[in-house]
Amino acid sequence: MNFQTDTSRTQIQNAVKDFVKGEFKKDVLEPLMASCAFPEKIWKKACDLGFVGIHFPESASGQGLGRVENALVVEGLCRGDASVGMCLAKAGEGADLILRFGSDIQKETWLPQVAEGEILSCFAVAEPGSGMDFTRIRTTAIRTGDEWVISGEKSLVINAGPMAGMYLVLCRTDPDADTPKTGLSVILVEADRAGITISETEKKLKLGGRLLWVNDVGFHDVRVPLDNLIGKEDQGLSQTLALMRETRVVSAAQLVGMAQGAFERAFGYVKQREQFGRKIIDFQITRQKIADMATAIEGARLLTYQAAQHLDQGAVTEKYSTMAKLAATRAALEVCDEAVQLFGGYGYIEEYEVEHFFRDVRFLATFDGTSMDQKNILAAELVKTGVG
């Protein structure tokens, strides 16, 4: 498959490159990195240019494009800078639940706010002590009159901070359901509702993803209208799994971009740096490393675009999105590790950037589903559908 021949897609890539060149400047990024601050101004400019929610319909302030175009944008942003690119890629975290399953009113109300940079959205799933084990979801939503009353704790919620406008919360709405995986629903909770508490997790220095707000959130008898239910009651698990198929592709695009960014910095360095009277690039072992890095990135990139295209075509399968995330994780970890080594001692110094590409890749590789998780999901899919 050739994903690069479409003129409109090339224009998108060029627009992202121009944006990165103009906005991701060293004197702007260094203070953000030093203070671990969310890149608010860059985020708003990215929204102004239509990079956030590019696949939303035009009626929701999007551009009506597809997941392939979204992957191109995300890759380009993370190629420019891993940390800032990750923040922009995750600005609409969980909003695709509204896009796919929400009511017309929910779409009209919330999607434009995400695309226009008025709010960040949050998907609250994981819980303390159980993580992403859907059989142990303890957060409850009890129907009381014309309201849901939500109580529970959610952990490591991306974007949970002062700019969050809504939480999409996976809740147990039927405690008497036949199995622990049923009786789950997704409910939209406005961020200004009484009874919401946010931890100060973001003040703890993280290995990677340092510019993101990642907090634990408590819901203490939070009341929302019954109309805040996303889609149908007791469909929360299937909705969440559908969303995860999409987020895996977005994660893969981020990882490909980060790998490419680290590769380009390392490649530029070995072309200039001399050892023993020769450019590092002239050593055979260096050239072999460069060849392996380029090959790994391109393979992961093609799998990612293929997975995005399958989503655009309406395919319902775990196979391609899981393969993409698995391949992109492997490529990004290997490439960033090699990039640090090619820089030698300088690879550990912030000034040379590859160290924070390495850290952010490690964060994303784990945070959005470990490779062990992806292998288990993929194997189960192959057992079910066959390998042909």
d(CA 125, CA 102): 17
Full-model pTM: 0.95
| Structure confidence at residue 6 (pLDDT) | 77
**pLDDT computed for residue 7 by the predictor:** 82
C-alpha to C-alpha distance for 326 and 370, rounded to whole angstroms: 8
User: Is the CB of residue 229 less than 8 Å from the CB of residue 187?
Assistant: yes
Residue spans of alpha helices (H) in 66-134: 67-80, 82-89, 95-101, 104-115
Assess contact for 280 and 268: CB atoms under 8 A: no
Q: What's the pLDDT at 2?
A: 58
Contact 257, 86 (CB under 8 A): no
Contacts of 23 (CB under 8 A, 6+ apart): 42, 45
- The per-residue pLDDT for 3 is 56
**In angstroms, rounded to a whole number, what is the distance separating the alpha carbons of residues 308 and 314?**
10
Strand 140-144 versus strand 120-124 pairing type: unpaired
Size (the chain), residues: 388
Residue owning tokens 């590789």? 365
pLDDT tens string, the chain, 388 residues long: the values are 555 557 889 999 999 999 999 999 999 999 999 999 999 999 999 999 999 999 999 999 999 999 999 999 999 999 999 999 999 999 999 999 999 999 999 999 999 999 999 999 999 999 998 888 888 999 999 999 999 999 999 999 999 999 999 999 999 999 888 887 889 999 999 999 999 999 976 556 788 999 999 999 999 999 999 999 999 999 999 999 999 999 999 999 999 999 999 999 999 999 998 888 899 999 999 999 999 999 999 999 999 999 999 999 998 788 999 999 999 999 999 999 999 999 999 998 888 899 999 999 999 998 777 888 889 888 988 898 888 7
SS3 344: helix
Token pair of 132 as six digits: 């992403």
pLDDT reported for residue 15: 97
pLDDT of residue 177: 87
Q: What is the DSSP string of 259-279?
A: HHHHHHHHHHHHHH-EETTEE
CA-to-CA dists, residue 120 to 112, 186, 188, 330, angstroms? 11, 18, 13, 29
- The answer to whether 88 and 158 have CB atoms below 8 angstroms apart is no
Q: Is 292 exposed, middle or buried (0-12, 13-18, 19+ CB in 10 A)?
A: middle
How much is the pLDDT for 201? 62
Residue-range domains of the chain with CATH = 7-115 (1.10.540.10), 120-234 (2.40.110.10), 237-385 (1.20.140.10)
